[in-house]
Amino acid sequence: MLNPQLNKNGELIHLLTLEGLPKDILLRILDIAAPFTEVAEREVKKLPLLRGKSVFNLFFENSTRTRTTFEIAAKRLSADVINLNVSTSSTAKGETLLDTVDNLVAMQADMFVVRHASSGAPYLIAQHLRNTGREDIHVVNAGDGRHAHPTQGLLDMYTIRHFKKDFTKLRVAVVGDVLHSRVARSEIAALTTLGVPEVRVIAPKTLLPTDVERMGVRVFHDMREGLRDVDVVMMLRLQNERMQGALLPSSQEYFKVWGLTPEKLALAKPDAIVMHPGPMNRGVEIDSAVADGSNAVILPQVTFGIAVRMAVMSMLAGA
Amino acid sequence: MKLHIANGRLVDPAHKVDAQRDVFIEDDKIVALGQTPAGFTADRTIDAAGLVVCPGLVDLSARLREPGFEYRATLESEMQAAMAGGITSLACPPDTDPVLDEPGLVEMLCYRARNLNCAHVYPVGALTFGLKGERITEMAELVEAGCVAFGQANEAVLNTQVLMRAMQYAATFGFRVWMQPMDPYLSRGNAHDGEVAARLGLTGIPVEAETIALHRQLTLARSTGVKLHITRLSSAAGLELIRRARAEGLDVTCDVAAHHLHLCDVDIGFFNPLHHVVPPLRSQRDREALREGLARGDIDAVCSDHTPVDDDEKQAPFAEAAAGATGLELLLPLALKWGGEMKLPLLDTLARVTSDAARIMGITKAGHLGVGARADVCVFDPETYRRVSRDTLKSQGKNTPFLGIELPGVVRHTLVEGRVMYEGR
Amino acid sequence: MQIPDAETLLTELVAQIRPHVSAATAIVGIHTGGVWLAERLHAALGIAPPLGSMDVSFYRDDYGSKGLHPSPRKSDIRFDVDGAHVIVVDDVLYTGRTTRAALNELFDYGRPARVDLAVLVDRGGRELPVAARYCAHTLAAPLSAHDRLQLQKAEDGALSLRLIHA
């Protein structure tokens, strides 16, 4: 099966997932993101790379935050950005996903940034673009169902490299609702590709996917055991809906057992970094003292996120 | 009309015949095998040199989409597909719209099918009204209208007492009950709950969805004495439960859908919606168990589980795509491919789509080619491979996961009651 | 063709620039050869503001056809560009497109009072209206498009010019 993200020259034409992405392309994105971080410090925070290009933010799932960072990234590259919040009511009017895409292609879209509640939706779009001969239009997955959130995974790797330098010497723990998390899947894929020797997941059984070990991780249910001597703690958001469906009894109990407090963090290495994709649920998965503490690198993650997205868009548009 | 099928290799599993033997047909019956009967002058001779002559295939499950789902397929189109697939008898599930729970609806369906003069249609009636699992249907009347069994398609009977009573009522008459083992709460996903679904972020359907439902169904079959048939087995664990029940003396049969013999969850690849089927494609180990189970006879028959779906309904993200695969024209090729790979004699392979399937339906007129039998015949070329493509599929549904794959077995002639209804290249 | 000695040219360039250096003069080198040159000039001329460097990859006019440069670097300008007298330094002046990109990038940092271009060698073949105020050597005849003239830096820091025939 051809990797749908690469063209026949092995160049990245879509960013759909970090799983199966060759290591050298992953590293290249991180390398290219570095110079983009400097742009934020200039007076004119703009580069001409995507001038004249139209980037359509196609968000089928609401997310002001992610959409805003993509918008900032695209505008810093001088692209024209069009935001489309395709609410459920318009799909209820009968327009299929691909019909929507065709309409936007007719409006001269150059790039789609897509967020969708169903795993695999960006693949369908990328495949459709190939089938209709429009391989010049690029797709960036901004999160599909539970499957992947590749730009988040990339900015997390960038953050780790910034603070810890060498992936091959690290112990990393991913904590929380791995079962429902596209961020976790992308992080795990990237960490294993980049050669992190030990990737741990810490969660109750109800929040872990079947056969999760096959993703290359060590499973812990005990937070204290799992955090011992780790260099990086990657927290995941716990959504309120998880209390329904009999996955968890309450957020209070969750916080008691799996919430990151200073006392539990003390078991990790003293210079361990704490990461969170945001938005945080203080008092549910993370204690305020940790979120605001010196180990947390949550705000730098946001800054790096813009640079990483600029790097991705530039690489795709230049292919 | 007198028909002579000459020089063919007659393979009739019911009579354990696999030999070069000519077939002589007069009107709608087979009048002789082997030697030309005295005074027989054929109006037409079909040269079946190099071809296999077998009973018209018997398919345990084909959704014809009438009544109610004509935008997906119609009787006309699907009958063409059946003929092209060499299928001369088929059972259709009750999940039409309206549901096949009224004798009048069943009569009308049978009437329409008879008028098309193609495959014989044997409806499976609804076990409960509207398939809602609350009130049992008028089973005696439905059998009189043409039903061969009762089932719930993919709908659950939540109330165990209703299920027990429905089985008791059916057992009163000796009617067959066909059940799909699917726990409704555990089946709310769209892919097999395993490594692949975990990676792809698809909601998984664990094997327990099948085994827990099976325990329930087998236990009730034991206590009610009903003739139970389990449809579309998907797992090794499920098969094991059935084997043990049979070993203890329970009269239960089961079938598997042809695609489950060849595909597993890994084949979903990059979220290919054509692989979204119910029950889901499970792991490689499950697939192996099903392949071997069918070879040993632990699984009695293989069917197409033909479920034609409109193109638009498949062009959606995996979870949202309509489930099901089209398959009338692929039953024979997929069975042959399986049989060849398992190194089975052709007699055994074809038994699973003819005599064994007929036995499950309880019909004696189909699935065999003895003297005096109804002349439903399939003549096919076992050696030629053909690529599955949208253009060659006659069904209105082009939704098969085997698109682009080359499969063996090309049907040359299909006869129903002595009439040649299909001739292929 | 005789390749001139880079160290000799550097001395010549320093001599050209020195009379015009003031407290407001800043130096910005263009990666990679221009930065090596700029380092030497910065030291030799006693420039006050910190040395600046620019990677003009994001401003190149061939992005549409060639895509992103394989390894862009960070630009680093730590002095206030507004009102500064900036000398942009590059090793070889050829079509002038790199200079155009450098100017565009510089102006995204602020509005300089004056910008001058200093190069070691002018190889001819201009495609844009760009000229170097300070230039140590102009080739007698322009090189062909297949030739590349490059500045190289040895381990001990010595600079030299190399001609590569494609």
Would residue A7 count as lying in a domain?
no
Between 2.60.120.620, 2.30.40.10, 3.30.70.860, 2.60.120.260, what CATH number should domain B2-52+374-423 receive? 2.30.40.10
Q: Does A32 touch chain C (CB under 8 A)?
A: yes
Averaged pLDDT, B245-268? 97
Point out the least confidently predicted range of A23-37, A88-102, A210-224. Answer: A88-102
CB atoms within 10 A of CB B292: 14
Which chains border A (3 or more CB–CB pairs < 8 Å)? B, C
Contact residues, chain C to chain A, C-beta under 8 Å: 55, 57-59, 63-64, 66-68, 70-76, 104, 107-110
Min Cα separation C54/chain A (Å)? 10
The pLDDT assigned to B425 comes to 78
Angle at which helix A23-39 crosses helix A298-318, to 10 degrees, equals: 110
A174 and A109, same structural domain? no
Averaged pLDDT, B376-402? 95
Would residue A15 count as lying in a domain?
no
Task: Pull the structure tokens for residue B203.
Answer: 């909601």
B55-361 has which fold?
TIM Barrel (3.20.20)
Strands C25-30 and C85-93: parallel
Q: Do B198 and A144 touch (CB under 8 A)?
A: no
The pLDDT assigned to C67 comes to 86
User: What is the domain partition of chain C in residue ranges?
Assistant: 6-65+74-165
Spatial contact of B380 and B332, defined as CB atoms under 8 Å apart? yes
A125 and A257, same structural domain? no
Q: Do chains B and C touch (3 or more CB pairs under 8 A)?
A: no
* ipTM of predicted complex: 0.90
- pLDDT tens-digit readout, A102-135: 999 999 999 999 999 999 999 999 999 999 999 8
A30 and A81, same structural domain? yes
Query: Predicted confidence band at A95 (pLDDT cuts at 50, 70, 90)?
Result: confident
Q: Do B198 and A211 touch (CB under 8 A)?
A: yes
- Owning domain of residue A96: 23-148+305-318
Residue in A38, A48, A318 closest to C67 by CB: A318
Averaged pLDDT, C51-75? 90
Smallest CA–CA distance from A144 into chain B, residue = B201
Q: Do C68 and A38 touch (CB under 8 A)?
A: no
- pLDDT tens-digit readout, C22-34: 988 999 999 989 9
Q: Do A44 and C66 touch (CB under 8 A)?
A: no
What's the whole-number average pLDDT of chain B?
96
pLDDT at A89 over 80: no
The CATH number assigned to the domain with range C6-65+74-165 reads: 3.40.50.2020
- Residue A257 belongs to a domain with what CATH number? 3.40.50.1370
The pLDDT assigned to A92 comes to 52
A204 and A65, same structural domain? no
What's the whole-number average pLDDT of chain A?
93
Q: Do B319 and A215 touch (CB under 8 A)?
A: no
As a dihedral over the C-alpha atoms of residue B94, residue B98, residue B103, residue B104, rounded to 10 degrees, the angle is: -140
Query: Predicted confidence band at A85 (pLDDT cuts at 50, 70, 90)?
Result: confident
Would residue A9 count as lying in a domain?
no
Q: Does A149 touch chain B (CB under 8 A)?
A: no
What's the domain count of chain A? 2
User: What is the domain partition of chain B in residue ranges?
Assistant: 2-52+374-423, 55-361
3-state DSSP of chain A: CCCCCECCCCCECCECCCCCCCHHHHHHHHHHHHHHHHHCCCCCCCCCCCCCCEEEEEECCCCHHHHHHHHHHHHHCCCEEEEEECCHHHHHCCCCHHHHHHHHHHCCCCEEEEEECCCCHHHHHHHHHHHCCCCCCEEEEEEECCCECHHHHHHHHHHHHHHHCCHHHCEEEEECCCCCCHHHHHHHHHHHHCCCCEEEEECCHHHCCCCHHHHCCEEECCHHHHHCCCCEEEECCCCHHHHHHHCCCCHHHHHHHHCECHHHHCCCCCCCEEECCCCCCECCCECHHHHCCCCECHHHHHHHHHHHHHHHHHHHHHC
Residues of A numbered 178-237 whose beta carbons fall under 8 angstroms of chain B's beta carbons: which are they? 182, 185, 209-212, 214-215
Whether the model pTM is above 0.95 = no
**Burial of B212 from C-beta contacts in 10 A (0-12 / 13-18 / 19+):** middle
- pLDDT tens-digit readout, B273-318: 999 999 999 999 999 999 999 999 999 999 999 999 999 999 999 9
Would residue A223 count as lying in a domain?
yes
Choosing from B12, B22, B95, B305, which is the catalytic residue? Answer: B305
Task: Look up B265 and say whether it is catalytic.
Answer: no
- pLDDT tens-digit readout, B191-200: 999 999 999 9
pLDDT at A1 over 70: no
* Interface with A, mutate which of B276, B284, B320, B390 (most A CBs under 10 A): B320
SS3 label, residue C106: helix
Would residue A122 count as lying in a domain?
yes
Q: Do A35 and C63 touch (CB under 8 A)?
A: no
Residue in A34, A44, A47 closest to C58 by CB: A47
- pLDDT tens-digit readout, A260-293: 999 999 999 999 999 999 899 999 999 999 999 9
Query: Predicted confidence band at A93 (pLDDT cuts at 50, 70, 90)?
Result: low
A157 and A123, same structural domain? no
Would residue A252 count as lying in a domain?
yes
